[in-house]
Chains A and B, each alone.
Chain A
Amino acid sequence: KNQVEQSPQSLIILEGKNCTLQCNYTVSPFSNLRWYKQDTGRGPVSLTIMTFSENTKSNGRYTATLDADTKQSSLHITASQLSDSASYICVVGDNYGQNFVFGPGTRLSVLP
């Protein structure tokens, strides 16, 4: 069964600190892996998209990594800001990348 797991479930950090969120997947066939940020009550917003041939992708303070062999990905957030408080969702595309399996998300809280 295609699944995406994320850890930790929730995380609290102080403003200015870095953090890393983890994602493991068992989706096959694999097409791409995406990280989304979802503010409470809002739709997810794309941060990064990686295909199997890419092992890192950056978007400002967000850097995603992908190890297609171990089926793991991470999202590293540098110099966190209060506005980074949100859920971060790992999503894996199967088939030709038009079907998506969502992880449960990591709830990040950045405190002043």
Chain B
Amino acid sequence: EPEVTQTPSHQVTQMGQEVILRCVPISNHLYFYWYRQILGQKVEFLVSFYNNEISEKSEIFDDQFSVERPDGSNFTLKIRSTKLEDSAMYFCASIGREYEQYFGPGTRLTVT
């Protein structure tokens, strides 16, 4: 069964550093998403991406965040200057024609 993959599984970084979280969505899927989940809290929408551009973004997705689809398979989330409050699980998800949304296993980001 096809699956969404994410790397790394855990990233530790110092405050102010840049991080890039990587995702490989399911091939032939059309919509891509990044979500974050702070420990013990609900999943929060960050950004959706369709046709090689941002479709929607939340208030959380400020100028410190950016997304790219550098090639036909990878989908990345960059945080330019991490803050302590960026510590969370970051999930990538993708949707295909059947509208089923598949989530990746997540990247745990710890900012120290």
Contact = CB atoms under 8 A, between A and B. Distances in A.
Interface of A: 32, 34, 38, 41-46, 49, 89, 97-105
Interface string B94-105: 010001111111
B99 A42 contact: no
A104 B42 contact: yes
Contacts, number: 49
A20 to B, nearest CB: 20
B24 to A, nearest CB: 14
Determine chain B's interface SS by DSSP, over half rule: strand
A49 B100 contact: yes
B91 A46 contact: no
Interface of B: 4, 31, 33, 35, 41-45, 48, 50, 55-56, 89, 91, 93, 95, 99-106, 108
A99 B43 contact: no
